[in-house]
Amino acid sequence: MAEQYDFVIIGNSAAGLQAIRTLRKHDQLSTIAIIDREDRPAYSRVLTPYYIGGHILREGLNIVDHSFYQEWGITPVFGHSVVSIDPEKHSLQLSDGRKISFKKLLIATGAEARTLPIATQRACVLRHMDDAEKLVDLFQNLKSVTAVGAGLVSLPLLSHASDQAEKHLVVGSNRIFSRVVDAETSAILEDQLQAKGLNIHKQNDITEMVEAEQLQLSLASGKQLSSDLLIVGKGVNPNTHLATEAGVEVADGILINTNCRSNHPDVYAAGDAAEGLDFITGETTIQGNWMTAVEQGENAALNMMGIECHYQGSLKNNITEIFGIEVAAVGYCQDDVAEIITSWNAATGRFRRVFLDEKQRVVGANMIGETNDAGLYYQLISTRSIFPGKQMLTGTANYAQTLFRLE
Ligand SMILES: Cc1cc2nc3c(=O)[nH]c(=O)nc-3n(C[C@H](O)[C@H](O)[C@H](O)COP(=O)(O)OP(=O)(O)OC[C@H]3O[C@@H](n4cnc5c(N)ncnc54)[C@H](O)[C@@H]3O)c2cc1C
């Protein structure tokens, strides 16, 4: 006999957690289960590099604790994988053979880090807590560390490795962060990172690796590197296989409409596993950030309850600190916009680059040096606001007044 719930969520992270919070906020009576193969309360993947670097304790990663689920009247089913879904029968099966039935299902299964076809204990990806624990050990006594792929995993991890370690970054592209910032922003950031001791090997790849006392890495350029650890940060693959096998429509991610619903009326998807509209380009994309997962989780939950709600589309939203430098990229930040306005103070290191469309509306912003106005740019972009003026770039504007005037 299957356990029965009104709402079932697969994935206890950004999207799934926001979904259960939203469901409970509006509905205290329905039965809700959240399933995750990881046997722990929800934690922040975003903060794992800080844990690995010894800046925060493991408990500091937790977003909620075990009591949260009980207090909110949610049934946690942790430590079990979902192995199949039958949307027509409204049921799914767990790895231990148990069956769970649902009226509405949210697939918030996220993504997996891409690995390299290599067999060594000294190469590691970072996606889950188990990876983080492995990296805590690998970070001990590092003399040299190399990362391949320049994104939100490699750079924060390199920056948290010991100051004494030699640090190398191998990038396939001709610049770092090419997916989220424009070429000029990349160039300024690269200069700052190199000044902090990072060796950047662009338009390059690792062609061969030999295990010796240290890993011997051969680069496509012909250069040889010796490293104690190889961090693999080559992007992610969305967890879509359950959906595909269930006959739910999948492109790169699970295709969702503006209700975060799949092509099946009772199956929804959100977060890194889902492919929905980009707010600026209007194209479907997997945004791959925490904020999008939260927004889609909330939107899905509202629609699962029958509260009709349209998600206006997701934005790129990356805010991080690398080598002591704050960096943020919000929205669409590429050279092909109608106008770009730049403010750069070499003395303070404060850099702002704002991207405008043909109607002078803000569509994107890159920030280096300090990022405390990233939320303001997020709001300007998501409300399709006209750029309020250059005083905003130099930090001289009264932000509260700026916002007030725009509303
Ligand atoms: C090191 C690192 C740094 C990052 N930094 C940033 C940052 O600075 N800013 C930012 O916005 N984003 C960042 N991200 C990305 C961000 O963490 C993700 O966008 C976000 O976690 C997506 O949330 P999600 O709920 O969609 O999926 P996930 O967080 O991937 O969670 C999916 C959950 O589903 C579970 N699951 C999957 N398949 C099954 C199954 N078959 N059965 C049961 N459970 C299953 C998994 O165990 C997992 O717990 C970072 C990610 C990493 C790894």
CATH number of the domain at 365, please: 3.30.390.30
Q: Is 195 exposed, middle or buried (0-12, 13-18, 19+ CB in 10 A)?
A: exposed
Does pTM surpass 0.85?
yes
Assign 55 to helix, strand or coil.
Answer: coil
pLDDT computed for residue 405 by the predictor: 38
Q: Are residues 8 and 107 in the same domain?
A: yes
* 263 inside domain: yes
Which residues contact residue 150 at a Cβ distance below 8 angstroms, ignoring those fewer than 6 apart? 169, 171, 173, 176, 177, 178, 200, 233
Q: Are residues 150 and 167 in the same domain?
A: yes
Residue at a domain's end among 198, 232, 266: 232
Looking at ligand 1, which atom is closest to the CA of residue 128? 53
Distance 388 CA to ligand 1 centre (A): 35
Q: Are residues 39 and 99 in the same domain?
A: yes
User: Residue 200: which CATH number?
Assistant: 3.50.50.60
| H or E element at residue 106 | strand 99-107
pLDDT computed for residue 370 by the predictor: 87
* 319 inside domain: no
Looking at ligand 1, which atom is closest to the CA of residue 320? 8
Chain center to CA of 209? 29
* 312 inside domain: no
| H or E element at residue 392 | helix 391-394
Q: Are residues 138 and 204 in the same domain?
A: yes
Q: Are residues 278 and 372 in the same domain?
A: no
Report in angstroms the alpha-carbon separations of 337 from 5, 297, 341: 48, 30, 11
Low-confidence ranges of the chain (pLDDT < 50): 397-407
Residue at a domain's end among 202, 232, 262: 232
Q: Are 220 and 209 in contact (CB under 8 A)?
A: no
Q: Are residues 129 and 214 in the same domain?
A: yes
The neighbour count for residue 130, using CB atoms within 10 Å, is 9
Number of compact structural domains in the chain: 3
DSSP output for 222-279: S-EEEESEEEE---EEE--HHHHHTT--BSSSEE--TTSB-SSTTEEE-GGGEEEEBT
Q: Are residues 107 and 194 in the same domain?
A: no
Q: Are residues 220 and 194 in the same domain?
A: yes
Distance 114 CA to ligand 1 centre (A): 13
Cα–Cα nearest to 167, from 137, 187, 185, 147 = 147
Please report, to the nearest 10 degrees, the dihedral formed by the alpha carbons of residues 189, 193, 196, 197 taken in order.
Answer: -150
Structural domain of residue 26, as residue ranges? 3-112+236-304
Which residues contact residue 265 at a Cβ distance below 8 angstroms, ignoring those fewer than 6 apart? none
Residue at a domain's end among 188, 216, 232: 232
Please report, to the nearest 10 degrees, the dihedral formed by the alpha carbons of residues 168, 170, 174, 179 taken in order.
Answer: -100
Candidate from 10, 17, 45 with most ligand 1 atoms within 8 A of CB, to mutate? 45
Q: Are residues 383 and 401 in the same domain?
A: yes
Q: Say how far apart CA 270 and CA 10 lie, in whole Å.
A: 10
Distance 307 CA to ligand 1 centre (A): 26
| Ligand 1 neighbours by CB, cut-off 6 Å | 10-16, 35-38, 45-46, 48-49, 81-82, 108-111, 126-127, 152-153, 239, 242, 271-272, 288-291, 293, 317-318, 320
Q: Atom 1 in ligand 1: which residue has the minimum CA distance?
A: 153
pLDDT single digits (tens) 46-58: 999 999 999 999 9
Q: Are residues 102 and 129 in the same domain?
A: no
pLDDT single digits (tens) 365-393: 999 998 999 999 999 999 999 998 766 77
* 139 inside domain: yes
Looking at ligand 1, which atom is closest to the CA of residue 274? 26
* 366 inside domain: yes
Q: Is 282 exposed, middle or buried (0-12, 13-18, 19+ CB in 10 A)?
A: exposed
Q: Are residues 73 and 168 in the same domain?
A: no
pLDDT computed for residue 395 by the predictor: 59
Q: Say how far apart CA 250 and CA 262 lie, in whole Å.
A: 9
Candidate from 94, 109, 126, 291 with most ligand 1 atoms within 8 A of CB, to mutate? 109
* 208 inside domain: yes
Q: Are residues 106 and 255 in the same domain?
A: yes
Looking at ligand 1, which atom is closest to the CA of residue 81? 42
Adjacent-strand bridge partners of 325: 322
